[in-house]
Structure formats: C-alpha cells, structure tokens
Amino acid sequence: MRPLVAVRRATPFDGRFHERHVLFWPLAPAVRALGDPADFPPVEALDRVFGDGRTGDRGVRFVAASPRRRRGAPLDADALYDGRIALRGEIPTRSGCWHDLMNALVWGTFPRAKRALHARQHAAITARLPPGAVALLPRSPELDALALIDEGGVVVLADDADEARARLRVKTDGGGLRGLVGSGRARTLVFGHAIYESLALGVTPGVVAAVVLPDGHAEAHPVRAADEALARALVDRDRFVSPRELTRVDVRDVQPAAV
C-alpha cells in the first residue's frame, strides 16, 4: 500500500467521495451544503458546511493557511493553529487538500466538540511552551490523546459507558465493538477526520480509537448527541489525559446509527 500522502496527492477530486462508504452518513448535510463542486471547494466557500441553521453553533470561519513559520523564529502559542481557532475563530485551511476538506466537513457536523477540542489543545500547548521557545516540546500524553481523538476518534454513545468500556476489551465475536453495537446498547459515529480521509481515498484507516461516552439523550439525533457529549467530556480536564483511556477498534466494526 502506498503511503497515505502519496495516495492523497495522486487522487483527483471526486464530488461523490461520500458515496464510497456508508460511514460518511454523519457528514451528509455538510457535504450537501457545499453543492456539487467539480473540484475542491475554495477555502472561502467552506463556511457553507455549517448550513443555514448552524451559524449560532460555529463562531469560526475558514481562512487560508499561512506560509510556514521562519525556522528559528520564536513561537507564539496564540498564533499557532489551535490558538488561532480558540482566540480568533480562524481555522487555517489548505486549498485543494483532502485532509483539510474532511476537517472542514467534521467542523460543520460536530462544531461544539471541535471548538472544545482545539480550546483544550491550545491550553495544553500554552502551558508547556517556555518563553522564547523556537520549537515545540514533544507532545505530552494529553496532547497525544487529543490528537488521536481529532484524527482517529470514533464516538461510542453507550447506555452504560462503564460496561461498554469493559466490553470493548473483549475481542471475541460476542464482545468488542461489533457485539456492543449489535446488542443495541450503543450507537457509533466516526469523528476523526483522518478516518474520513482514508475512506474517501480508499485506504484502510491507520488508527481508529473508541471514545466511549454516556448516551444521555438516546432519543436525540445521534450526531447532535455525539457533538454535545464529546464537547462536555473534552471540557473536563480529568478526561483524556493519556491515550490509554482510548481503546483501539476496527473500523469495520463501526456501524451507522439508526436515525
């Protein structure tokens, strides 16, 4: 298999990418909001992913990514990627990039959770950045966990979150994620934009990790329930302090939630 970056560069835009896999269903409204473009939508058009009724949720806008920082220049946490989102509501985005397009669609689908995640990452980076630093320190376990959620997270909304976490450690046919979903005790949705990118490009996602959350609003639409539950969990600084809190799962065991 070619590295993902090579596949990304070699794959032309196809406006029907979301039809390649059933797990794209949460992104469907955001995809439709972009219309039927013949090529990658320009950065200035990506605000449409929020839809007519979502303007109150967003508080952010997509902007063209800045040129790379000059090597050796002092770092300013407020001017880094997460800082621009948290403080200015600006999401730096590369034009013509599969990865950034999937990120935009996830923003349009889970705006509360994305805001909470990048605010948390900005706070964690700021706390670890010494004055005058010219390079970031290696990522902390907390930042590793947050990056894993952002890129490879699958939300598992469970009737009993503790039981669900225990069952995810079981790898037999009657346990694990497949058994949990099959029993009707959980709903699953892809959150991580790197998973969506892999599905769009026809490659197996590198990392898929389950984020188990209580399904406190089982009657609510699963996308809204997942967005709100994940946002609440991310605000809790006692959660997601290490990747060990997340369980690796197989994307083939993720099933579309009933809506």
pLDDT the model gives residue 4:
75
pLDDT the model gives residue 175:
63
Count Cβ atoms within 10 A of the Cβ of residue 56 and give its class: 0-12 exposed, 13-18 middle, 19 or more buried.
exposed
Q: Strands, DSSP E only, in 98-183?
A: 153-158
Tokens of 146: 């947050």
Question: For 119-132, what is the mean pLDDT?
Answer: 94
Contact 256, 22 (CB under 8 A): yes
Per DSSP, the three-state class of 225 is: helix
Residues linked to residue 3 through DSSP beta bridges, in sequence order: none
Lowest-pLDDT range of 9-18, 79-88, 97-106, 174-183: 174-183
Is residue 24 pLDDT above 70, yes or no? yes
Contact 78, 134 (CB under 8 A): no
pLDDT digits (tens, 9 = 90+) for 209-231: 999 999 987 778 999 999 999 99
pLDDT the model gives residue 1:
41
CA nearest to 137, candidates 149, 147, 145, 129: 129
Per DSSP, the three-state class of 165 is: helix
The CB-side HSE value for 114 (13 A sphere, CA atoms) comes to: 25
Higher pLDDT, 83 or 53: 83
pLDDT digits (tens, 9 = 90+) for 43-67: 999 999 998 644 445 689 999 998 8
What lies within 8 Å, CB to CB, of 258 at 6+ separation is 187, 222
Higher pLDDT, 182 or 172: 182
Per DSSP, the three-state class of 76 is: coil
User: If pLDDT is split at 50, 70 and 90, which confidence band does 174 have?
Assistant: low
